[in-house]
Amino acid sequence: MSDTWFTISSLTVPSPPSNLTSTSQTTTSISLSWTAPPGIVTGYLIFASPGNGGPYTNVGTTTTTSFTHQGLTPLTARWYYVIAYNSAGNSPPSALVQASTLQEQISAPTSLTVTQVGVNTIDLRWSSVPTALSYRVYARRLIQQTFQLFSSPEDTTTTMGGLTPQTQYIIRVSAVKPTGESARSDSVVVATLSGNISFEIVDANPEILNVSYPYPTRTTLISLLNSSSSFESWKRIGACADGVSRLFLKINSNFRPATMTFSLS
């Protein structure tokens, strides 16, 4: 009678995976990796939660020591642990690791264009930014340093109203998404058309007439309507602290009108 020998293999539950790490992130995904425990491992279960204290849900399985959690939104935080398993059962959970998706880099609008200019209005258009909810139009006068939010249109066209006649504006546009606001577009510089300009006689004497008018302006010439030969010369001084430009005009010694009417040309 011959002896028969049987080999019995005792399979044990795996130890927990170690060195769980987030290896990379995008705006919509978080990648993980870990070290396999010793012994036989059939696969791994990956669990995730929005907070450290749970609840945790199974977000995937894999037979390798890496996993990418996809389908997330920008700036999403998740806590993770991993369980190894084989036919004998599941391991205890690994240590926790926390990671967050990246903030979306929103493209700035392009092709900002002025389509029409009026005395008090400027019409604009620009190229759309995919999935943008709205846009923000920023503007400042040429003499100002800080841009102000002018409007928040949902479309890629808008009309800026209530502007000052014959005034230069610098305009930029940004795109808005749920995750934030883009950088601002390249600037366009445009001046509204001239309207009725009021002149104030600041000072006068027999030789010099000091006139102020709203600044800024594209004007390059002052003309005297009732007598174009009345002035020998004029000089534009530039912007003053009170927001006007000054003109000093030398009057011919033989000319002494009681009133004068000026226009911009």
pLDDT, residue 106, reads 87
- Mapped onto helix, strand or coil, the DSSP state of residue 148 is strand
pLDDT, residue 5, reads 57
Topology, domain 113-191: Immunoglobulin-like (2.60.40)
Query: Same topology for domains 18-100 and 113-191, yes or no?
Result: yes
- Mapped onto helix, strand or coil, the DSSP state of residue 181 is strand
Residue 166 structure tokens: 């014959």
Q: Which of 128, 92, 123, 93 is nearest to 110 (CA)?
A: 128
Domain layout of the chain by residue ranges: 18-100, 113-191, 200-264
pLDDT, residue 195, reads 59
How far is 130 from 13, CA to CA, in rounded Å? 50
Model pTM score: 0.52
pLDDT, residue 143, reads 86
Contact (Cβ atoms closer than 8 angstroms) between residue 95 and residue 81: yes
- Mapped onto helix, strand or coil, the DSSP state of residue 79 is strand
Rg, the chain, Cα only: 37
Q: Which of 158, 149, 110 is nearest to 130 (CA)?
A: 110
Q: Which of 231, 220, 228 is nearest to 254 (CA)?
A: 231
pLDDT, residue 3, reads 60
How far CA 94 is from CA of 43, 55, 259, in Å, comes to: 14, 16, 92
Could you tell me which residues come within 8 angstroms of residue 97 by beta carbon, excluding any fewer than 6 positions away?
Answer: 20, 21, 22, 32, 79, 80, 81
pLDDT by 10s per residue, the chain, length 265: 556 555 555 789 999 999 999 999 998 999 999 999 999 999 999 999 999 988 999 999 999 999 999 999 888 999 999 999 999 999 999 999 999 999 888 899 999 999 999 889 999 999 999 989 999 999 999 888 899 999 999 999 999 999 988 899 999 999 998 878 999 999 999 998 875 444 444 444 444 444 444 443 333 333 333 333 444 444 443 444 444 444 444 444 444 444 444 444 3
How far CA 116 is from CA of 113, 167, 192, 193, 217, in Å, comes to: 9, 15, 10, 11, 18
**What CATH class has 18-100?**
mainly beta
pLDDT, residue 103, reads 84
Residue 237 CB coordination number (10 Å): 11
